[in-house]
Amino acid sequence: MENFSFEDMSKIKRDSLGHNVPLELFRSIRLIGMYQGLPLNGKGTTSVVGKKIGENLSVNSMDELFDVFERLKIGIPSVVKQDESGFTVAIEDCFCEGLPQLEGKYVCDLEGAIMQGALSKLYNKTVRVREVKCNINGDERCEYEIKM
């Protein structure tokens, strides 16, 4: 085997600790390790990593992508606006919900990059995703503008 696939990640054999890890650990990796520890708040890293994860998801529709987001507890996505240039996706119950607010900060770029990778592969075209709202910024939920 040369590389891991997303399917490989579901092959878990942890008899004592099981397959779940605490949200605190995920938040620490993202917001302390990457956001605080890497240049540009880790955005280059999360962009590459997220797109690669998205490209490896076995999804054949946006509904399937949204199902994966819920199953993996990334959040609960829904399309809240759609027009000829693209659409806006809201993520309820995002990993950042409940953290202290920091005005002007947007920290959920990994989730957007996952969508970008999956949708680019699904539609076989360039897709751009930009986080426009974030719980951390004081918004009511996280939202992404998606342009095709």
- Domain-by-domain residue ranges, the chain? 63-148
Output the pLDDT for position 68: 96
Q: Is the model's pTM score more than 0.85?
A: yes
Question: Dihedrals φ, ψ of 132, to 5°?
Answer: -115, -15
Q: What's the pLDDT score for residue 36?
A: 92
Q: Region 3-15: what's the mean pLDDT?
A: 88
Q: Which CATH number fits domain 63-148: 3.30.870.10, 3.30.1380.20, 3.40.50.1000, 1.10.20.10?
A: 3.30.1380.20
Q: For residues 114 and 73, what is the distance between their CA atoms, to the nearest angstrom?
A: 13
Q: Is 131 helix (H, G, I), strand (E, B) or coil?
A: strand
